[in-house]
Chains A and B, each alone.
Chain A
Amino acid sequence: MDKEILKEIFLLVLEIIKAFCEILWKKIKGFFCLIWDRFFGVTNISSPERGEEREWGDTGEDTWPVAPEGSRVRAEEPQPQGKREGVVYAPVIPELPEDYGDNRMVLMVRDPECLFAYWELRKDVLGNILNALGSMAHSAKTVLRVYDVTDVIFNGNNAHNYFDIEITGGAQSWYVHTGKPNRSFCADIGFLTPNGTFRLITRSNLVKTPPAGVSGVVDEAWMCIDALYEETPVTEGFGSSESVREKAHKGWQEIIKEGVSSFETSRVSPPA
């Protein structure tokens, strides 16, 4: 009897060890995949603005959204003339290329304070850089380095300043909040090692954010009529010492944020 109990306890312990090993194995495997994907297979698309976490390898990009039952979508293939169409069809959507074999990054302006960057990195380029980094490769982070290059011919070293964003989750795009209207920016994507070495993968184009207020440049031949800049409903409460420029700036910031038009309601489309 005691032997039976001992046997049961022994088997139970074995089960626990087995379960523990399985968990450990999954962790090791996951960690390996993580490292591999980060350096050799940038397949995931996610960025801070995308909200929910996604699984590795799930780009979420080119997948057809699941159509609700009875949804109004139509057959892709030509139908014989005169035949009424079926109610629902399984949509056939051609998939777009996952990559174009490029190693490049494109920077775009979204608004005076926010940029959008997307990139495609070639595995052979990444491999060469990581090889050159040698033992430091495993601890290197993928970093987006954003330079303020206003009024300079950027050579890689003469930016006014820069900041780094660590790119996680194998992202292929990122929204960059610079908070700086009327400035020029350029970005690098590269590997940053713990000792501060930055290895460039690719450099973006140059962009300029628009101003977020009225211009400080005044043309003497066309002196501004201040009264025309006071046509804003939010000028009340501003101190009288404030310049027209400051007033107009604050006023228009509010107006733009509230959404000047409601034009989206006027599109021709059926009600939701």
Chain B
Amino acid sequence: MEKGYLSFILHAHLPFVRHPEHTEFFEEDWLFEAITETYIPLIDVFNKLIEDGVDFRVTMSISPPLVSMLTDPLLQSRYIRYIEKRIEFAEKEIERTRHQPEFNRLALMYHGYFANARYIFAEKYRRNLVTAFKKFQEAGNVEIITCGATHGYFPLMNHNVNAMRAQIHVAVKHYEKHFGRQPCGIWLPECAYEPELDKILQETGIRFLITETHGILFASPRPKYGVYAPIVSPSGIAAFGRDRESSKQVWSVSEGYPGDFFYREFYRDVGYDLDYDYVSPYLHGDGKRSNIGIKYYRITGKTDQKEPYCPEKALDKAAEHAGNFLFNREKQIEHLSAVMDRKPIVVAPYDAELFGHWWFEGPRWIDFLFRKMASDHKAISLITPLEYLEKYPVNQVSTPSLSSWGYKGYHEYWLNESNDWVYRHLHKAAERMVELAKTYPQRGENSLQNRALNQAARELLLAQSSDWAFIMKTGDMVEYATKRTKEHLFRFTKLYDDIRSDKIDAAWLSDIEGKDNIFSDIGYHIFQ
């Protein structure tokens, strides 16, 4: 009989990037890389676990923008083009490295890796990977939860309840459309908890959320069990807190597993390493060097003299690290269960894209971990937050504290001199959207005005994505984030002016409907 539980949570999200106006677009590769390196490897791991009869539980948030992109026909066909170019390049690499066995076997490995990605994507799931995750949910192994409609940062829009409500209701409706049932939980974008959310979540039937550690530790009244049991807000929403110890073992740049010298080096991609003329047909139209996805070296150490990657050794390490993680969790559970009068839950959330994209061996580490837990470790079991609530329906009433998982634990990463200019515009646009929704009662489905109002809602939601402020702060790709923010706000403002003056530009509206086509069945009245 287990003494406690581990709740493994993956947050899968990418901002909505889709540019039909260009034949190819650099930032669309974010999705294609994540499909190849994270989503498909995770699907493979889950499928094999199920085939082998290994019982496991994972909670996954798949954000609405990510679901929208994964189900978008244009991006799906572009992914086929992307992966086929990788397969072709891998074939050339097999030929080029034929006299270098230590690289040749890696070229063969990548060829198989890309070919498998193509098979899983195009044939097994007929281009729609969302169906894979839906199937895992139906099998009872994966609990899919929702997120903010466009990953809007709630604490920085908190003076407009309607704007927060729209982010949540649009997300819930989108979830229902794609997963055929109501979501039971929500991943708050950037793990940013805002006490005002409580009542809105209650309206949607969502039962639980995840907060950063101090969201629970600093809650009031003081939670009896710290982060090792949920608390319930006054409106009845259960809040689970992130366990810092298990997070650190995986996340930490200095101490985390992904930095092991035997793991694959992310920053040595052939797109940068090989002769320019040789790789240029596989780069983007601008000819600038970028990742192709074949990386031949291991981390090796703090040196530029990298050694060739050895998959067998890396897998041994992944198995060893899974064992170490489990050993530490068991010790932790043992300690906690000795002082607690119920079974503790250790909540371990991670960005899904860490696994596979950055930490190449990450999906296999998950595979090893779940198999070990199922076979010889009985002191600890995997559980979803929902299952824990079923086992322990009575929990302490306490209000979580405002918090996020960003730098310094609050909002500084999204509110600083690099990005603070966005908020005056975002707030004004949200106010105007509420004004529009109240001024114009809903008309016929296809009236021009109705379409313009719905598009205004889409543009506002897209502008609110926390990713833009985040990128502005990181300092990389700032131009793109700035452009996207301004573009959506500009489109919103023009729509607002056009609707108010009853001069809607039908051709222009059709054009932006084609570009920003997220949430096709949105109803702007959600802002009322």
Contacts and interface: CB of A to CB of B under 8 A. Distances in A.
Interface of A: 45, 47, 49-51, 61-62, 64-65, 67, 70-75, 77-79, 81-88, 91, 93-97, 100, 102, 106, 108-112, 114, 116, 118, 120, 172-173, 205, 210-219, 221-225, 227-229, 231, 245, 248, 252, 255-257, 259-272
B253 A262 contact: yes
A77 B515 CA distance: 12
A106 B424 contact: yes
Name, among B226, B409, B480, the residue most crowded by chain A CB atoms within 10 Å (CB to CB): B409
Contact of A222 (B34, B224, B420): B224
Contact of B221 (A83, A96, A217): A217
B353 A110 contact: no
B327 interface: no
A84 B339 contact: no
B483 A266 contact: no
B251 A85 contact: no
B159 A106 contact: yes
A188 to B, nearest CB: 17
A260 B247 contact: yes
B417 A51 contact: yes
Interface in B425-467: 425, 427-428
5 contacts: A96-B490, A112-B410, A257-B408, A266-B351, A267-B474
A191 to B, nearest CB: 22
A216 to B, nearest CB: 8
B219 interface: yes
B479 A71 contact: yes
Name, among A110, A216, A229, A272, the residue most crowded by chain B CB atoms within 10 Å (CB to CB): A110
B136 interface: no
Given A228-B226, A231-B226, A261-B251, A96 B220 contact: no
Interface string B136-153: 000000000000000000
Contacts of B63: none
B421 A214 contact: no
Interface stretch (B22-30, B40-48, B73-81, B307-315): B22-30
B26 A210 contact: no
Contacts of B354: 263, 266
A247 to B, nearest CB: 12
A217 B220 contact: yes
Interface stretch (B114-122, B285-293, B520-528): B285-293
A249 B358 CA distance: 34
A73 to B, nearest CB: 6
Given A65-B479, A118-B420, A223 B224 contact: yes
B362 to A, nearest CB: 10
A37 B63 CA distance: 46
Given A64-B482, A173-B424, A229-B217, 6 more contacts: A50-B417, A67-B479, A97-B493, A173-B420, A225-B339, A228-B339
B286 A72 contact: yes
A107 B38 CA distance: 40
Contacts of A100: 428
Interface string B98-112: 000000000000000
Given A73-B479, A268-B357, A88 B409 contact: no
